[in-house]
Amino acid sequence: MATGHTDPQRRERILAATLDLIAEEGIARVSHRRIAQRAGVPLGSMTYHFSGIEQLLREAFGRFTDHIVAVFDEHLGAAADRDQAREAVADLVHELSEDSQRDLVLTQELYTLAARRPAYRELTHEWMRRSRVHLEKHFDPDTARQLDALIEGLTLHRALAREPHGRALTLEAIARVTATERRAPQGSGTP
Amino acid sequence: MATGHTDPQRRERILAATLDLIAEEGIARVSHRRIAQRAGVPLGSMTYHFSGIEQLLREAFGRFTDHIVAVFDEHLGAAADRDQAREAVADLVHELSEDSQRDLVLTQELYTLAARRPAYRELTHEWMRRSRVHLEKHFDPDTARQLDALIEGLTLHRALAREPHGRALTLEAIARVTATERRAPQGSGTP
DNA sequence: CCGGAGAGCGTACGAACGTACACTCCGGCG
DNA sequence: CGCCGGAGTGTACGTTCGTACGCTCTCCGG
């Protein structure tokens, strides 16, 4: 085509197609050619817009974490008190584990990369940080940390289980971890 | 070489090399040639012992889940009462998130596959089932389920966090999820 | 002592890969 | 009106891939 001018939509379409491809077929099947075909752009565009597959992947996963963090913000930002926060967390767990296979798969792919490569770990750090900011508006830091881990586990197990657990169980787990009546039987100190 | 007889060690070495390669470089970089080189076997052996990469991966991850389930059994099987079970769970979380980057990475790779392919999901189902068997010796089924998810989340977050949380926090989270008896106050061993 | 059966291997082939780079085309400037 | 710079692309190259298959070599029954 050669329009003669910058076309920012091309770039976006490539990034979106990259995430779609990873979600559907996995990192192992990602290639310039497949992405290009899916995005409807010529092969040459790939190396024109991105210096290599590495940069492309990092940028694509950057978009993805932006999206996920937005979902967190959307759910948890609205919570006004502790009980609403608990409900919001339950909603979050169920949305992430039920709605879209896409987000689940991409999350796993990102964790897999993060487990090995520090560059991707930065993305998960930022993600964890942001979610904890929300949780710490309603719970003390230690509890927030535990709850954050619980969210992760509940989401994953619900998504992978043969018979996913119901909302009642999710809420009960959340309630237990966030129950603040601390009679200190073992003496673990926190505010 | 052509020894003229079946050599079961070859097969094992190939499977071990497959897991090593996945752990170090990721599914995306797995190939017959790389595995063969790492295992010290000729390329021709790959197609001789395994019908294709698909079968090879499934079998390799089968070995891996056997290993992980054994770690679960080892830690949780010895626990005699509820408190020992809590300690055992904490040990488990810390061993999996600290000791070996290898197990963590392989776990993530498996979850990634399981999130997309039912064949691999069977492996995770069996894994979850086995771990719940142990947990249900000390806790009621719902609690076991919540605890199982918590283990998952704590392990992952500890492994990926910039500053991993300490054992006290792990134990506190476990205590909280397992503390509340729905019917009776804390007491007897098996539900 | 020998010959066949079959375990195990070396190699060749077509497809797909990432990347480089010469090229085309168009809007704007002179 | 003509031409020039740079955005954007088509294609070619060297590499690596999975897999098939004819071959070698060892062991054992006779």
Q: What DSSP string runs through A1-13?
A: ---SS--HHHHHH
Is residue A1 predicted with pLDDT exceeding 70?
no
Q: How far is it, in rounded angstroms, from Cα B23 to Cα B100?
A: 10
Q: Would you state the pLDDT for residue B85?
A: 96
Q: Which of B115, B151, B161 sits opposite A108 (nearest CB)?
A: B115
* Residue A185 tokens, joined: 């039987």
Question: Tell me: the pLDDT tens digits for A42-83?
Answer: 999 999 999 999 999 999 999 999 999 999 899 999 999 999
Q: Would you state the pLDDT for residue A5?
A: 55
Q: Answer whether A146 sits within 8 Å of B176, measured CB to CB.
A: yes
What residues of chain A lie within 8 A of the CB of B105, using their CB? 112, 115-116
Q: Would you state the pLDDT for residue B2?
A: 41
Question: Tell me: the pLDDT tens digits for A152-178?
Answer: 999 999 999 999 999 999 999 999 999
Best mutation target among B53, B146, B171 (most A Cβ atoms within 10 Å) is B146
Q: What is the pTM of this model?
A: 0.89
Is residue A190 predicted with pLDDT exceeding 90?
no
Is residue A3 predicted with pLDDT exceeding 80?
no
Which of the nucleotides lies closest to A42 (Cα–C1')? D9
Question: Tell me: the pLDDT tens digits for A107-116?
Answer: 999 999 999 9
Please give the single-letter amino acid code of residue B67.
H
Q: Would you state the pLDDT for residue A99?
A: 67
Kind plus residue range of the DSSP H or E element containing B124: helix B118-135
The 10 Å Cβ neighbour count of residue B19 is: 20
Cα distance from B4 to chain A (closest Cα, Å)? 36
Contact B50, B5 (CB under 8 A): no
Best mutation target among A104, A130, A146, A147 (most B Cβ atoms within 10 Å) is A146
Q: Would you state the pLDDT for residue B118?
A: 92
Q: Nearest 5°: phi and psi at A19?
A: -65, -40
Burial of A99-125, coded b for 16+ CB within 10 Å and e otherwise, reads eeeebbbbbbbbbbbbbbeeebbebbb
Strand C nucleotides within 7 Å of a protein CB: 5-12, 16-22, 24-27
Mean pLDDT of the A15-41 span:
97
% of chain A surpassing 90 pLDDT: 85
Q: Which of A128, A185, A188 sits opposite B168 (nearest CB)?
A: A188
**Greater model confidence, A180 or A93:** A93
How does pLDDT run along chain B (191 residues), one tens digit per residue?
444 456 778 899 999 999 999 999 999 999 999 999 999 999 999 999 999 999 999 999 999 999 999 998 999 999 999 999 999 999 999 999 986 789 999 999 999 999 999 999 999 999 999 999 999 999 999 999 999 999 999 999 999 999 999 999 999 999 999 996 554 444 444 44
% of chain A surpassing 70 pLDDT: 90
Q: Would you state the pLDDT for residue B182?
A: 52
Q: Would you state the pLDDT for residue A136?
A: 96
Nearest to A142 by CA among B157, B82, B147: B157
